């Protein structure tokens, strides 16, 4: 081997081993990709503590949570449908999850009555102040996932179109299945 081919070999080896490191550093510094986030909902940081409004005797379970508004619009109906369908779609895992709708005195009474008669959804009655204390100014017009320790960890925006709500339900189901798979409790 002559001197030029030795230099070419060293330069090629340097490029092969150093260039990926430099490109990776640039990608990290410039946020060129999503940093391994696989959840489809919005991660709440810090988490919100729902312990104050939970039944202390209730068995710890994962929860799909929705706060019932004063007037149940199409978004509200889609959210209620999504919560029920996601819970049903969990199949054999549905015993680890509780579908919870939080109702206050200001909530739509006709929907609250209808939910109270339905077995799949647990209607949790509380006051407006308690809901405000739990959500601390966060918008409650969303579907939430809470862990077995009553920490609200993920939020999913409501959908106006029914087809979008169904597609969005798949995202909720996907995230919930991942959480259940990785969870050893509840």
Contacts of 108 (CB under 8 A, 6+ apart): 68, 69, 70, 71, 72, 76
**Cβ atoms 176, 62 nearer than 8 A:** yes
pLDDT of residue 14: 86
Q: Which residues of the chain have pLDDT under 70?
A: 1, 34-37, 119, 186
pLDDT of residue 120: 82
pLDDT of residue 119: 67
pLDDT of residue 93: 92
**Cβ atoms 154, 53 nearer than 8 A:** no
pTM strictly above 0.75: yes
CATH no., domain 42-182 = 3.40.30.10
């Amino acid at each position: 081997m002559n001197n030029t081919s030795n230099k070419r070999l060293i330069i090629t080896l340097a490029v092969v081993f150093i260039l990926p490191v430099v490109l990776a550093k640039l990608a990290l510094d410039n946020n060129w990709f999503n940093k391994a986030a696989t959840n489809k909902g919005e991660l709440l940081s810090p988490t919100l503590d729902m312990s104050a409004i939970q039944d202390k005797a209730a068995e710890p379970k994962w929860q799909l949570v929705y706060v019932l508004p004063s007037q149940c619009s199409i978004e509200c109906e889609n959210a209620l449908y999504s919560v029920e369908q996601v819970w049903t779609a969990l199949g054999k895992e549905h015993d680890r999850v509780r579908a919870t709708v939080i109702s206050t005195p200001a909530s739509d009474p006709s929907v609250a009555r209808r939910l109270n008669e339905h077995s799949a959804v647990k209607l949790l009655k509380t006051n407006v102040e308690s809901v405000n204390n739990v959500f601390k100014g966060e918008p409650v017009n969303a579907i939430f996932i809470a862990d077995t320790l009553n920490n609200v960890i993920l939020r999913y925006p409501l959908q106006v179109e029914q087809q979008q709500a169904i597609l969005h339900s798949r995202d909720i189901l996907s995230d919930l299945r991942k959480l259940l798979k990785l969870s050893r409790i509840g």
